[in-house]
Amino acid sequence: MLAATRTTFTLIPGQQAYNIGPDPSMDIQAARPQKIYRANVVDLSAMPNPNHIPIRMLEWSEYNTWGIRNSPTPLPQAAWYDRGYSAIANPTNPNPPPENVPDIGYGTLNIIGMPSAPNQIEFWAASPLTQFATLFDELVFPPGYYEFLLYSTCVRLYPKFSRPPDATVVALQKEARLAVESGNITPAPVMPLDSGLPRSKPQYWDGRTNHYITRTR
């Protein structure tokens, strides 16, 4: 289960799309999120006590059917994160990337509504595992990943030495993989109510963010 890391950035009036990647050339210099769980718009006009107003994180189906997307607003109410992997052209860090490291990439956060004020957005996103460059770098990852990486490495090394995989190691790798997958899967909605009832929206509890998620129909 990946940790939810908080990131903030300042909206630029007239700009709706913000690239997120680990390079100074990006609008938001941070690790490319695998998923954005939730977000707030911070109303800086209320300083010294700014308001933190939740905004909806849309799925593609909602964003695709959204009507007017570019109405000027100082406080956007929704956003869609395009987590498609796009390679960063001519990155400045590293420049160029080592041959044994894949090209670093970015995602794009699309704001519903044209920002008209330099307020802030804060969001919580799934952080990728820490990458290492040398054998002496320290890895930081959530519980459960250690066994998955350990036994997966063992299974990958058997063919390198022309040996058949040990059945016990293979079984342990499968159990560890299932544990990681079950920790990261998005649970299905539970106890949905009939659409004819007032305020009926299916919800489920997301243990990664410790709050209820409402599914829109």
- Taking only the tens of pLDDT, the chain with its 217 residues reads 566 788 999 999 999 999 998 888 899 998 888 889 899 999 998 888 899 999 999 988 889 889 889 999 999 999 999 988 888 877 776 655 556 556 678 999 999 999 999 999 999 988 766 666 667 767 767 778 888 989 999 999 999 999 999 999 999 999 999 988 877 666 555 555 555 666 555 565 555 555 556 655 4
Burial class (CB within 10 angstroms; exposed 0-12, middle 13-18, buried 19+) of 138: exposed
Give the pTM: 0.66
- Distant-in-sequence, close-in-space partners of 136: CB < 8 Å, separation ≥ 6: none
**First-to-last C-alpha distance (Å) of the chain:** 27
Q: Which is nearest to 5 in space by CA: 158, 132, 124?
A: 124
Question: Helices marked H in the chain — which ranges?
Answer: 60-65, 145-160, 167-184
The neighbour count for residue 69, using CB atoms within 10 Å, is 14
B/e letters for 163-194, b = 16+ CB within 10 Å, e = fewer, are eeeeeebeebbeebeebbeeeeeeeeeeeeee
